[in-house]
């Protein structure tokens, strides 16, 4: 056997507590030397060079809670790219966390079959007054009584400051310190399971946030081969890509294994550029299937994908990536246009009731037709895919928060129309998803907010946001994403669901969900037996 | 039916003679007006706006041989991007050609089954003294007596000047004027068929040459989404890509239908960046299959691909692109290292006889192992693919011409070693390919040459070539690619095959080829029944 055929010495990257010792694994292929720098006493622990650009060490000097950085050659020490904790934010030292210390009480938990999922998307910082995992835990009874059995948590990877949707996360292994960190998330998942609620975690594998991004110092995490809306693409198929793939694959496994998360929702996977024979997602699928055999639990993989391409959800034998389910924004777009919403930007492709009927029948509205907005023929046919492979909603964080003012449906559509929209989602032969607060027609907006600590970047975001909405100045000024006020004004108002029309809406949603659970025709998701017909004159949809 | 669902009014782009009239079709989605400008009298024929950014016209004013350009808005007139003829070079006017005027005599021609192909790669400009298709035709008897039944012609799309390998071609529909143009190629194909020789045409769909490249003036032929070694990628999946795909698909069909070409060899398809649900190559395959039904002839699609990814050659039902065959450079690399060739650059991944045995057995040497040169695990397993899906050689234009001095194997390996290498190729369970002159151990080199007419570009190429080989200055200076001398010194010497050791080599090749044809074990390409074992001590390969 040649050297080239040796099995790789890959371990989980970062620092892993293993009994009384810690295992350190770092990928830094260009470094001549690498060391751990302990922040307390300034001790330097040299790492040993291993194959393929990795460095490793087994040491008893790194303990739970130890603060450390890595030093490459003689350069300034930097946080660990696979840090599990950033107690002082994205620029500070990393802290050791023992993920195995948590005492789980969910041995009897059964992840529901995916077909039964009724999903509730929430943002930790604005879901509760506390803006933490603890804050979510306190409200689980509300979700149980609503009939929800799966929450989808917007990304929790450490981001700069304390206010962010999560898509600027830059430490994919570290749970946001201001949310309660890793242990807080473990506690929340355990509590959810005790209440019969599955946890879907939103993870971002298509880019890394701009602030606190030290990845280039460590190795070729990025490639020039592809460009994304967020700059250079992560390197999934160029020289050095083995380690980058490994980094993200181990991240997937960590959430399932160490956090007992039930499903991942992978953000914008169309921006994962990978021309390898086995696409990163297909490799993830294979590794997660192996893990499922070990854990004897189902672990679902859900993707956000803007390609209408069944390759993502088809089985590997057909050349697919084997993802369990995907979001379909087109259902949302068709629904909102049907409900009288504006027809600008991506909504311009949608025609209302006929397209809504098409979404019911075919999942993808564009499955081969010419799309004016995209200026090309677009999409593939999803004839052989099952209902649970598609997730539908009448609003999510994007459709709300990417508006200049962040208006929810509650502000844009009449009360009765909101009910119709809820009905459309909850009777669809797909998995339904609500956006937090929708169930009581929350009045607060959900706005775009950040809290970058780099003043230049903060100003760039502020100006970028202004420029983006310059054409809409008649509607007022875009809220300043950097202020605490914008964040606070985006929080749910928990007094509302007990009041007047908010209570009415909550009762309506609860009953609709109960109906969906009770009626086999609504939850069996048999796409072949469901047929939607549009009556364009009446602007109604007949389901049969 | 909505507007978005209308069938597209796509026609073949460019000017097509249809009886006494000519059909004009131009894609220029951003133009406010478009017109044909007749060069002789300066007449302006306005084009009519059609759907999807196309412009069209039926006119009796464009005749065979008419010189014309297109005018967009009030800008300078430019050549037709789908020009069939550029009599005055890449910057000059386009000329109308009636492709249906040629009188074919090949009605009884039968394209051999792919498994029987014995391929001979040649470059029109340097194969004969004349450097034209006529020059090739005069030498067909030599190829017949050698036993060749398929010639592969390096790209003939119009390039700047008169000397080019063909990969700087910038008018994919126009046959190089200095080679004899479209009619010359039709005549050559007809002559080949009369002699029992199939014609493979090398076509470049991954980039367009830099000089005479007016495509950006017409529309979004390129996209910022991906980068290639040659700059921005052709736009196969971004806004406007329908027309770009159509442009290249119609080009494929033209070669088969109007030039009776038997197979296309598509250059470097790994650089065709396309994340559509149906990859451009898969769409080409579908359209070519349809054409095959019309013509009742097989039309083969061969790709050069640097990905060791069976997706390219697997059937569509398995998620493949359905290509008939692909080049495997790795066989070449393993063979040359085995023969004692240097181990620099891409050869550094190869270990000699054990890798040659692996190429025999598995087609891909790297089918999942770590490749040091690429610094990643690389390749997929080609277990279920047939022998004719792989094309092997001991040298081609790249391995020869990309050397600083352009030395052929004849200069680098002993006479006996050249014979062994020929044996390795012609006994492999794959399709064999020779590079012109190899059969008589041609002594002239095959160098890199261009004849750009843009002085800045010419100088840039000259300097780039010098810089590329700066480290090799001990071996002498890189020949100047711009001089006619470099081109002339790359021509085959047709006096040689009658002389001494050249004649010996020619006889050896002829006998080997005859043997391959005579012995079922050598031409049935049953990969499951062929097994190669490497003896590393003896540096020999035992085939059984």
pLDDT single digits (tens) A138-161: 999 999 999 999 999 999 999 999
Judged on CB neighbours under 10 Å (0-12, 13-18, 19+), A370 is buried
Q: A376–B311: do the CB atoms touch at under 8 Å?
A: no
Residues of B in contact with A320 (CB under 8 A): 319
pLDDT at B543: 84
CATH T-level topology, domain B10-101: Immunoglobulin-like (2.60.40)
Total beta-carbon pairs less than 8 A apart between chain A and chain B = 99
Contact B264, B203 (CB under 8 A): yes
Q: How far is CA A105 from CA A99, A191, A193, B20, B265, in A?
A: 15, 9, 9, 85, 62
Q: What percent of chain A has pLDDT over 90?
A: 86
Residue B506's Cα: distance from chain center in Å?
26
Q: Is the pLDDT assigned to residue A9 strictly greater than 60?
A: no
User: Which B residues in the span 372-401 are in contact with A, Cβ-Cβ below 8 Å?
Assistant: 372, 374-377, 379-380
Tens digit of each residue's pLDDT (9 = 90 or more) over A62-94 = 999 999 999 999 899 999 999 999 999 999 999
Contact B72, B219 (CB under 8 A): no
Question: Cβ atoms within 10 A of the Cβ of B220, count?
Answer: 20
> What are B443's two structure tokens?
């002594």
pLDDT at A10: 55
Helix (H/G/I), strand (E/B), else coil: B500: helix
Tens digit of each residue's pLDDT (9 = 90 or more) over B326-354 = 999 999 999 999 999 999 888 999 998 99
Residue A241's Cα: distance from chain center in Å?
23
Residues of B in contact with A242 (CB under 8 A): 370, 375-377
CB of B362 less than 8 A from some CB of A:
no
Mutate to test the interface with B, among A376, A378, A381, A534 (most CBs of B within 10 A): A376
Tens digit of each residue's pLDDT (9 = 90 or more) over B70-103 = 999 989 999 999 999 999 999 999 999 999 999 9
Closest A-chain CA to B239: A375
Q: What average pLDDT does range A35-46 have in this prediction?
A: 94
Q: A376–B308: do the CB atoms touch at under 8 Å?
A: no
pLDDT at B307: 95
CB of A275 less than 8 A from some CB of B:
yes
Q: Is the pLDDT assigned to residue B513 strictly greater than 80?
A: yes
Element (H, E) at A181: helix A181-194
- Sequence-distant (6+) residues with CB within 8 A of A44 are A35, A36, A37, A38, A71
Tell me the C-alpha distance between A445 and A126, whole Å.
11
Residues of A in contact with B277 (CB under 8 A): 307-311, 379-380
Helices A500-518 & A415-426 angle (0-180, nearest 10) = 20
Cα-based angle B76, B78, B81 (whole degrees, multiple of 5): 150
**CATH 3.20.20.80 in chain A, residue ranges:** 117-454+483-543
Tell me the C-alpha distance between A161 and B483, whole Å.
62
**CATH 2.60.40.10 in chain B, residue ranges:** 10-101
- Biggest alpha carbon–alpha carbon distance for chain A: 76
Mean pLDDT of chain B: 94
Residues of B in contact with A225 (CB under 8 A): 226-227
Contact A241, A235 (CB under 8 A): yes
Q: Is the pLDDT assigned to residue A5 strictly greater than 50?
A: no
Residues of B in contact with A223 (CB under 8 A): none
Q: A275–B273: do the CB atoms touch at under 8 Å?
A: yes
Q: A369–B4: do the CB atoms touch at under 8 Å?
A: yes
Helix (H/G/I), strand (E/B), else coil: A36: strand
**CATH 3.20.20.80 in chain B, residue ranges:** 119-335+379-447+482-514
- Sequence-distant (6+) residues with CB within 8 A of B224 are A227, B232
CB of A224 less than 8 A from some CB of B:
yes
Class of the CATH domain delimited by A117-454+483-543: alpha beta
CB of A1 less than 8 A from some CB of B:
no
Residues of B in contact with A371 (CB under 8 A): 4
User: Which A residues in the span 476-495 are in contact with B, Cβ-Cβ below 8 Å?
Assistant: none
Any idea which residues of B carry the catalytic annotation? Answer: 267, 304
Q: A317–B320: do the CB atoms touch at under 8 Å?
A: no
Using alpha carbons, select from A336, A334, A339, A375 the residue that is nearest to residue A358.
A334
pLDDT at A4: 31
Helices B500-518 & B415-426 angle (0-180, nearest 10) = 20
Q: What average pLDDT does range A97-105 have in this prediction?
A: 97
Q: Does domain B119-335+379-447+482-514 have CATH number 3.40.50.800?
A: no
CB of B317 less than 8 A from some CB of A:
yes
Smallest CA–CA separation between A367 and chain B, in Å? 10
Residues of B in contact with A370 (CB under 8 A): 4-6, 8, 52, 242
Q: What average pLDDT does range B190-198 have in this prediction?
A: 98
More confident residue, A535 or A156: A156
What single DSSP character describes residue A483? S
Strand partners, B15: B24
CB of A239 less than 8 A from some CB of B:
yes
Residues of B in contact with A224 (CB under 8 A): 227
Q: B380–A52: do the CB atoms touch at under 8 Å?
A: no
Residues of B in contact with A317 (CB under 8 A): 318
Helices (H), A343-385: 353-362
Any idea which residues of A carry the catalytic annotation? Answer: 267, 304
Judged on CB neighbours under 10 Å (0-12, 13-18, 19+), B447 is buried
Mean pLDDT of chain A: 94
CB of A474 less than 8 A from some CB of B:
no
pLDDT at B3: 32
Q: Is the pLDDT assigned to residue A271 strictly greater than 90?
A: yes
Q: A380–B277: do the CB atoms touch at under 8 Å?
A: yes
Q: B370–A52: do the CB atoms touch at under 8 Å?
A: yes
CB of A351 less than 8 A from some CB of B:
yes
Q: Is the pLDDT assigned to residue B231 strictly greater than 80?
A: no
Contact A336, A347 (CB under 8 A): yes
Q: A2–B370: do the CB atoms touch at under 8 Å?
A: no
Is the four-CA dihedral A140, A145, A146, A147 of positive or negative sign? positive
Q: A311–B354: do the CB atoms touch at under 8 Å?
A: no
Judged on CB neighbours under 10 Å (0-12, 13-18, 19+), B173 is buried
Q: What percent of chain B has pLDDT over 70?
A: 98
Smallest CA–CA separation between A377 and chain B, in Å? 7
Smallest CA–CA separation between A385 and chain B, in Å? 15
Which range has the worst mean pLDDT, A522-531, B130-139, B262-271, B437-446? A522-531
Contact B73, B33 (CB under 8 A): yes
Tracing tokens 């956006």 back to the chain, one arrives at A435
CB of B350 less than 8 A from some CB of A:
no
Judged on CB neighbours under 10 Å (0-12, 13-18, 19+), A220 is buried
Mutate to test the interface with A, among B375, B382, B536 (most CBs of A within 10 A): B375
Tracing tokens 């690429």 back to the chain, one arrives at B374
Tens digit of each residue's pLDDT (9 = 90 or more) over A191-232 = 999 999 999 999 999 999 999 999 999 999 999 999 888 878
Name, of B157-161, B229-233, B402-406, the range with top average pLDDT: B157-161
CATH T-level topology, domain A3-101: Immunoglobulin-like (2.60.40)
Return the C-alpha torsion angle B407, B412, B414, B416, nearest 10: -70
Closest B-chain CA to A351: B2
Q: Residue A376 is nearest to which of B6, B239, B309, comparing CB atoms?
A: B239
Q: What average pLDDT does range B413-428 have in this prediction?
A: 97
Residues of A in contact with B309 (CB under 8 A): 275-277
Q: Is the pLDDT assigned to residue A7 strictly greater than 70?
A: no
Q: Is the pLDDT assigned to residue B68 strictly greater than 90?
A: yes
Going edge to edge, which strands form the sheet with B14-18?
B14-18, B21-27, B54-59, B48-49
């Amino acid at each position: 056997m040649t050297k080239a055929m040796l099995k790789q010495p890959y371990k989980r990257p970062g620092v892993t507590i293993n009994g009384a010792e810690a295992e350190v694994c770092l990928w830094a292929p260009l470094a001549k030397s690498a060391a751990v720098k302990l922040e307390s006493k300034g001790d330097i622990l040299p790492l040993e060079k291993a194959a393929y650009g990795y460095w490793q060490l087994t040491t008893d000097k790194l303990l739970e809670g130890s603060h450390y950085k890595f030093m490459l050659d003689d350069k300034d020490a930097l946080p660990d790219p696979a840090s599990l904790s950033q107690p002082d934010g994205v620029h500070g030292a990393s802290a050791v966390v023992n993920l195995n210390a948590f005492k789980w009480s969910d041995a009897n938990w059964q992840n529901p079959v995916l077909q039964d999922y009724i999903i509730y998307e929430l943002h930790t910082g604005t879901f509760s007054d506390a803006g933490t995992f603890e804050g979510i835990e306190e409200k689980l009874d509300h979700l149980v009584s609503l009939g929800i059995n799966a929450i989808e948590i917007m990304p929790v990877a450490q981001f700069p400051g304390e206010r962010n949707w999560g898509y600027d996360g830059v430490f994919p292994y570290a749970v946001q310190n201001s949310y309660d960190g890793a242990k807080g998330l473990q506690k929340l998942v355990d509590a959810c399971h005790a209440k019969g609620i599955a946890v879907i975690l939103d993870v971002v594998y298509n880019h890394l946030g701009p602030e606190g991004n030290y990845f280039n110092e460590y190795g070729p995490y990025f490639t020039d081969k592809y460009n994304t809306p967020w700059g250079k693409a992560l390197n999934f198929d160029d020289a050095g890509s083995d380690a980058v793939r490994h980094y993200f694959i181990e991240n997937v496994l960590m959430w399932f294994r160490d956090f007992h998360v039930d499903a991942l929702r992978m953000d914008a996977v169309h921006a994962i550029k990978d021309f390898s024979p086995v696409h990163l997602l297909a490799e993830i699928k294979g590794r997660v299937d192996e893990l499922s055999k070990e854990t004897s639990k189902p672990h679902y993989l859900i993707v956000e994908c803007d390609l209408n391409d069944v390759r993502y959800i088809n089985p590997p034998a057909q050349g697919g990536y084997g993802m369990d389910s995907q979001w379909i924004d087109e259902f949302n777009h068709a629904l909102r246009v049907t409900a009288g919403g504006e027809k600008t930007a991506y909504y311009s492709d949608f025609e209302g009731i006929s397209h809504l009927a098409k979404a019911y029948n075919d999942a993808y509205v564009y499955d081969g037709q010419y799309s004016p907005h995209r200026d090309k023929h677009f999409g593939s046919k999803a004839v052989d895919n099952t209902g649970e492979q598609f997730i539908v909603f009448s609003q999510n964080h994007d459709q709300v928060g990417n508006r200049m003012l962040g208006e929810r449906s509650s502000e844009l559509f009449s009360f009765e129309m909101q009910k119709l929209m809820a009905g459309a989602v909850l009777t669809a032969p797909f998995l339904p998803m609500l956006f937090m607060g929708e169930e009581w027609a929350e009045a607060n907006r959900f706005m775009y907010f950040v809290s970058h600590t780099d003043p230049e970047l903060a100003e760039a975001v502020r100006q970028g946001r202004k420029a983006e909405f310059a054409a809409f100045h008649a509607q007022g000024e875009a809220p300043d994403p950097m202020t605490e006020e914008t964040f606070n004004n985006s929080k749910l108002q928990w007094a509302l669901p007990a009041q007047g029309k908010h209570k009415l809406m909550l009762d309506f949603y609860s009953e609709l969900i109960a109906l969906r659970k009770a009626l086999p025709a609504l939850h069996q998701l048999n796409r072949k037996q469901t047929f939607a017909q549009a009556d364009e004159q009446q602007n109604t949809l007949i389901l049969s």
